Copies of this chain bind each other. A is one copy, B any other.
Amino acid sequence: MNQIVLRSPYLIFLGSETNPTYAKTGAGVAHWRPEDCLGQFHLPGGSVDLGLPEMTIEQAAEAGAKSLLIGTAVVGGAISDSWLDALEAALRSGMDVVAGVHTRLSDIPRLAQASKETGSKLIDVRVPPKGLPVGNGKRRSGKRVLTVGTDCALGKKYTALALTDELREQGAKATFRASGQTGIIISGAGIPIDAVVSDFVSGAAEVLSPENEADHWDVIEGQGSLHHPGYAAVSVGLLLGSQPDAFVVCHEAGRKTIEGWPDYELPSIGEVIERAIELGRRTNPAIRPVGISVNTSTLSEEQARNYLDALEQEYDLPATDPIRFGIRAIAQKLVSEF
């Protein structure tokens, strides 16, 4: 398969974190995959609460935990020395240790040694699997929907996760396909597309959403933006390899320029639609937009409704804020039109 695959159920490691902002990964797993979460584990001083049962490493191992997920990230993305006793104990009690931070777990001699001795794995979800192919561009069975954005960091992952759940709610077969480290930890599988060598990006996207039953939806987490001066290559490779039948445009209300690139105007939703079709039809001539997903957190609820109504008028597509209003209309469109 060539995807990263995590073994569930999980114990979520929260270190001594006190600020929920830095425990977003753990919170994401607890929110989206509660059935895979056995419990949470703190070091002394930690106070973030994901609402899961508190467990020691030993209790979790006994209860059948297969992986310890590092659910918190400190600034700089390092593994704190104060974590190592617990991480080693997890390995020695038969759990894999999974992280999406910048430091590689296998570069820490103590953990590498414990992994070697026990056979428990160190899984760095920022490291792509080996042996990814060049994209072959061959059509494959199954249906695919990709989230594309006007920019980075405005809800492509959330939209894809919410859409997957809503498709299932409506009786469709659907799998979330994670293309970034947080998504991989949340969903338990995937490929960190932006870490793949550029020659193999489309191929990695093909592996990420392999052929499937004709009525099955892969809901693929987008990366970057087709108009991004730094990351467009990632987005183009993911688009071509995903050969999506449908795409959802993700946007943040009020954002005017590319985040971190203030000289670059944000493309309009219409420009993103045009470019996604223009590029995407190379591998799927039938590609078309099915909805607009907007982060409206800067607007009042009334402003948000007016803004979304105006988008629906302008683009003749369902427009929603999935956090505020759900994503039912987009899922319905997929179910009824494909």
B227/A202 in contact, CB under 8 A: no
**Interface check A138, CB cutoff 8 A:** yes
**Interface check A289, CB cutoff 8 A:** no
Q: How close is A232's CB to chain B, nearest CB, in angstroms?
A: 6
Per-residue contact bits, chain A 198-221, to B (CB 8 Å; 1 contact, 0 not) = 110111000000000000000000
B229/A135 in contact, CB under 8 A: yes
A136-B261, A137-B261, A138-B263 in contact; A198/B229 too (CB < 8 A)? no
Contacts of A256 in B (CB 8 A): none
Per-residue contact bits, chain A 225-249, to B (CB 8 Å; 1 contact, 0 not) = 0010111111011001000000000
Contacts of A199 in B (CB 8 A): 194-195, 230-231, 234
In the bound complex, CA of A185 to CA of B120 (Å)? 43
B202/A283 in contact, CB under 8 A: no
**Interface check A193, CB cutoff 8 A:** yes
**Interface check A50, CB cutoff 8 A:** no
Q: What residue in chain B is nearest A258 (Cβ atoms)?
A: B137
Contact of A137 among B196, B203, B236, B263 (CB under 8 A): B263
Contacts of A230 in B (CB 8 A): 134-137, 199, 202-203
Contacts of A135 in B (CB 8 A): 229-231
Q: What residue in chain B is nearest A196 (Cβ atoms)?
A: B198
Contacts of A74 in B (CB 8 A): none
B194/A196 in contact, CB under 8 A: no
Q: What residue in chain B is nearest A199 (Cβ atoms)?
A: B194
Q: What residue in chain B is nearest A279 (Cβ atoms)?
A: B232
A233/B231 in contact, CB under 8 A: no
Contact of A236 among B134, B193, B232 (CB under 8 A): B232
Q: What residue in chain B is nearest A195 (Cβ atoms)?
A: B197
Within 181-197 of A, Cβ neighbours of B (below 8 Å) are at 193-197
**Interface check A264, CB cutoff 8 A:** yes
In the bound complex, CA of A266 to CA of B197 (Å)? 25
B234/A198 in contact, CB under 8 A: yes
Q: How close is A270's CB to chain B, nearest CB, in angstroms?
A: 14
**Interface check A282, CB cutoff 8 A:** yes
Per-residue contact bits, chain A 128-158, to B (CB 8 Å; 1 contact, 0 not) = 0000001111100000000000000000000
Contacts of A196 in B (CB 8 A): 197-198
Q: What residue in chain B is nearest A224 (Cβ atoms)?
A: B199
Contacts of A275 in B (CB 8 A): 278
A237/B229 in contact, CB under 8 A: no
Closest 9 CB pairs of A and B: A137-B229, A233-B237, A135-B230, A198-B198, A194-B199, A201-B233, A134-B230, A233-B233, A198-B234
Given contacts A197-B198, A203-B230, 16 further A-B contacts (CB under 8 A): A135-B230, A136-B230, A137-B263, A193-B198, A194-B197, A194-B199, A195-B198, A196-B197, A198-B233, A202-B233, A229-B240, A229-B283, A232-B236, A232-B279, A233-B240, A278-B278
Question: Hey, which bits of chain A sit against chain B, CB under 8 A?
Answer: 134-138, 193-199, 201-203, 227, 229-234, 236-237, 240, 261, 263-264, 275, 278-279, 282-283
